[in-house]
Amino acid sequence: MAQSMLAVRKGLAVAVGVFLAQFAGLTVASAGETLHLKWNSIRLSENSIQGLLDSEREVRNPYWANRAEERSALYRVIQFPRRITDEDRMALERQGVEVLRYLPEDAWVVRVPAARDRGFRTLGTKIRSSSRILPEWKVSEELFAELNSGKRKSLPLLVTAYDSLAADEVEAELKRISGIQFFSRRKNAFLVKTSPDRVQRLAAIEAAEWVQEVPQFVTFDYQAWDDSASSEPEIVAPPAITGYESGTRLMNFDRAWEKGFRGEGQHVAVADTGLDSGVEATLHADFKGVFAQGYLTGLGADSWGDPQGHGTHVMGSVVGTGSLSDWNFRGGAHRARLHAMGLWSAIFDNIVPPTDFEDLILPAYENGARVHSNSWGSPRDLGAYDSFAAGADDFMWKNPDLLLVFAAGNSGEDRDRDGRIDEGSISSPGTAKNVLTVGASENLLAQGGIQKKLSELRDGTRKWGVAPIADDTLSNNSNGLAAFSSRGPTKDGRIKPDLVAPGTNIVSTLSQHPKAGKLWGAYDAHYAYAGGTSMATPLTAGAAVVAREFLVESKRISSPSAALVKATLMHTAHDLFPGQYGTGPKQELPVRRPNAHEGMGRVDMDAVVSLRESDLLVDAKAGVGVGEVYGEEVQVDGGQVIRATLVYTDAPGAASASIALVNNLDLRVRGPSGRIQSIGDRVNNWEHIEFTAKESGSYQVSVVGENVPQGRSGKQPFALVVSVR
C-alpha cells in the first residue's frame, strides 16, 4: 500500500523547495537570437536588421513597399542575450523605461522616454539588440490576405493600444488621419472603418499594438437541421425520460450532488443572448431562488431578456433547478447564484460583446462571480491568438481567482474526406491560454431532438460525407465527440480544447420571450433540445462551480485560484480514447490524452469529489522564478499509476507574436533510480504526466522555472494536482 502523500497546502504562498542538485544537468537554457512574429521569424542584429526587413518585405508583401515616412520611435523591441529576469525590469524602470509586452525569444516591447531614445543602448550592457517596431508586425494574417485580395473598398477594423497611455496617443493620431471613420473607443481598443490603403497608416502609429478586422461573434449552438426543412426541426411529443437528457449524467454530476456539492455559496456569470423574459418577477420557474442579477453588457443592449433562446438554454445548464421537470433537467450547479449578462443588441440583431474584457466581466466579478461562462466566439480566423484572446488572458492574469470558460466553436469538418475530423479549427477567444476551452462530446439520447445521420444534416454531405462519420448520428455513443466540435491545435501549436462535455441533444430551459426560437426543437412548453459546443460549455462551467465549492468546503482552500480549479477538472477528466469508431485508419482519437480533439477528456465530477486526503493539491500563489524549482515527494508502489497535472495562469501574450506563451514552467517527475519523466513543453501553459511506476519508492514531483520574463515580482504562480492509484 502506498504511503500517504503530502497534505494540501494551506498557506498558499508555498515556499520554493530547491532540488537542483537532484536533477543532473538542470540549468537555465541559453537564450535564442530569433524574434518569432506572425509576420515572420527574424534575427535582430544592430547592423543588418534594416536590410533584412526591407528584403523580406519586398518578397513577402509588396503592399508595404511605399509605406509612410517613419516617425521618431518611442516604442522599441529590446532583446537580451539570456533569460530575462525581474532585475532587468527594475534596471530599465530606474531609467524611466516601461516594459509593455514580451516577445519570444527573450525580448520586450518597451516605451522609452524621448530623451533616452538616442542613447538607448547605454541603458544596460545586458541588452543584445534593439529595434524599432515595423508596421508590418502589427497586422493580422487575415487582414494581410484581405488587403492583397483587393476585393473590398471599406474595412471595419479593431485597433488596440498597449495600455491607456498608448491609447491616448493612438486616439490623437486617428483623429489626424484623413479617410478614417472613427466609431468608438473602449479603454485601449478602437473601432474604426477605413479603406485598405489607410491600413498601413494605422499600423504606423507607434502606440498601436495590433490591427485586425472586427470579429463577427456568433453563438455556438449548431444549426443542424437540413436545408430542406422550412425553419426548425419537427416538434414531437416528449419521449420517456431516461436521465441523460440534460447531459449531467454522463458527467457523473449525480455523485457530486449525492455528496452535497451543488454549487452552494458560489456565484457564476453567464454572458449570452440574455435570460428569459428579462424581468425577475416573471422568470422561468427554474431560475427562481438562483437568479442573482441581470446586466446590460452588449453594445446597444437595452434588456437582459432573451429574444433568441440560446442564453436561457445555456443558463439552465449551469444553474437551472429543474423545478418544472420534477427535478429531472437540472443544471450542474443548481444551488449557485446566477449573474445573467445580456449581450443581445437590438440594433445589430445579434450578440455584440464589448471590446474590452473588463466591461464584459468586471460587473459580475465585483459581485462575487468567480466562474464566467461564454458560449460564443469568432470563427473568422480559426486557431489565431488575436487581441480578444490576449484580452481574456490579460483579465485572468490580473484577476487570477476568476476562471473564464469559452466554447471551442462548431467548425469541425472532414474537408480532406479521410473519414476523420480535421484539426486546427478553434475559435477566438477560445484560443486564449488561460481560459478553459470546451469542446463537445456526444450525449446519449436515442429519441427526441435531432436523430438524423450527419450526412443528412445541413451541409452534411460536404462537411462529413465519408464513413464512418457520414453514417453516424448526433447522440448515439457516449465515447464519441460531436463531429461539429472544433479541434485544435491553435496556430502556435497549443492543445485546445482543454476538456469536452456532452453537447448534442441537450435538454434545458426554453425562453418564454415571444421572439425566442426553439433551437433543436421543443421538449415541452418549458424545455428545449439544443446542441453545439455552446451546450457543452455551460455544463463545464457548472462543473467548475461545483469543483470550486469542493475545493473550498472539502479541501479547505478558502480562495482557490482559477488555475487550481482548471487543474482539478483536467486532472480528473475521463479519457475517451480511442473514440467511437474503434481502432484503425478511421480511429476518431489518434492518440491518448492529452490531444487536440478532446484535450484531457470528458469532465468527470465523480472523480473530482472522490479526490482523497492523500492526493496532492497545491495552489502555489508565490510561484517560482527563473532557475527555481518547487518540489514534493510522494510514495508509490510498483504497478501504481502516478498522475501529475500542472496548470498556470500565464501573462498575456502579444497578438503580434507567433508563440503566445510568455512564462514557461516545466513539470518533471524523478523516480527512485533517478530516471526523469518530463514533457519539455514550450507552447502550453499546462502539462500532464501519467505513467505506471515500475519500481516502488519515493518519487519527486517538481515544477521548474524555465523562463519567467513577465512574472509577479519575478515569479510565476501555478497549481499542481498529483494522485497515485
Which residues contact residue 71 at a Cβ distance below 8 angstroms, ignoring those fewer than 6 apart?
204, 206
Which residues contact residue 8 at a Cβ distance below 8 angstroms, ignoring those fewer than 6 apart?
555, 556, 557, 616, 617, 618
pLDDT tens per residue across span 538-587: 999 999 999 999 999 999 999 999 999 999 999 999 999 999 999 998 99
For the record, the C-alpha cell of 458 comes out as: 445541413
pLDDT tens per residue across span 227-276: 444 445 554 568 899 999 999 999 999 999 999 999 999 999 999 999 99
Q: What does the alpha-carbon distance between residue 155 and residue 170 come to, in Å, rounded to a whole number?
A: 18
pLDDT band at 610 (very low <50, low <70, confident <90, very high): very high
What percent of the chain shows pLDDT beyond 90?
81
Assign residue 593 a region (left: φ > 0; alpha: ψ between -120 and 50; beta: otherwise).
beta
What is the CB neighbour count within 10 angstroms for residue 426?
Answer: 35
DSSP 197: G
Q: What does the alpha-carbon distance between residue 542 and residue 550 come to, in Å, rounded to a whole number?
A: 12
Dihedral over Cα of 277, 279, 282, 287: its sign: positive
Q: What does the alpha-carbon distance between residue 104 and residue 709 come to, in Å, rounded to a whole number?
A: 10
Q: What does the alpha-carbon distance between residue 444 and residue 504 come to, in Å, rounded to a whole number?
A: 8
Phi, psi of 146, deg, nearest 5: -65, -40
pLDDT tens per residue across span 294-337: 999 988 889 999 999 999 999 999 999 999 999 999 999 999 99
With 80 as the cut, is the pLDDT of residue 1 above it? no
Phi, psi of 642, deg, nearest 5: -105, 130
Q: Cell 485546445 sits at which residue?
A: 496
For the record, the C-alpha cell of 392 comes out as: 481574456
- Strand, coil or helix: what is 138? helix
Q: What does the alpha-carbon distance between residue 95 and residue 76 come to, in Å, rounded to a whole number?
A: 15
Phi, psi of 429, deg, nearest 5: -85, 10
With 50 as the cut, is the pLDDT of residue 72 above it? no
Distance from chain centroid for Cα 213:
20
Q: Which residues of 29-44 are buried (b: 16+ CB within 10 A; e: fewer)?
A: eebeeebbbbbbebeb
Domains of the chain: 250-549 (3.40.50.200)
Which residues contact residue 78 at a Cβ distance below 8 angstroms, ignoring those fewer than 6 apart?
107, 108, 110, 120, 127, 129, 130
Helix axes 310-319, 533-553, angle to 10 degrees: 30
Amino acid (1-letter code) at residue 542: G
pLDDT of res. 281: 97
pLDDT tens per residue across span 584-608: 989 999 999 999 999 999 999 999 9
Pairing of strands 499-502, 267-272: unpaired
Q: What does the alpha-carbon distance between residue 239 and residue 709 come to, in Å, rounded to a whole number?
A: 57
What is the CB neighbour count within 10 angstroms for residue 187?
Answer: 17
Which residues contact residue 171 at a Cβ distance below 8 angstroms, ignoring those fewer than 6 apart?
185, 190
Query: What residues form DSSP beta bridges with 506?
Result: 530
Compute CA distances 510 → 74, 329, 712, whole Å: 55, 12, 45
Host H or E run for residue 199: helix 199-203
Q: What does the alpha-carbon distance between residue 654 and residue 367 come to, in Å, rounded to a whole number?
A: 30
Q: Where are the alpha helices (DSSP H) in 386-453?
A: 387-398
Q: Are 372 and 562 in contact (CB under 8 A)?
A: no
Q: Are 665 and 716 in contact (CB under 8 A)?
A: yes
pLDDT tens per residue across span 629-684: 999 999 999 999 999 999 999 999 999 999 999 999 999 999 999 999 999 999 99
pLDDT band at 15 (very low <50, low <70, confident <90, very high): very low
For the record, the C-alpha cell of 719 comes out as: 497549481
Assign residue 349 a region (left: φ > 0; alpha: ψ between -120 and 50; beta: otherwise).
left
Stretch 127-152: mean pLDDT: 88
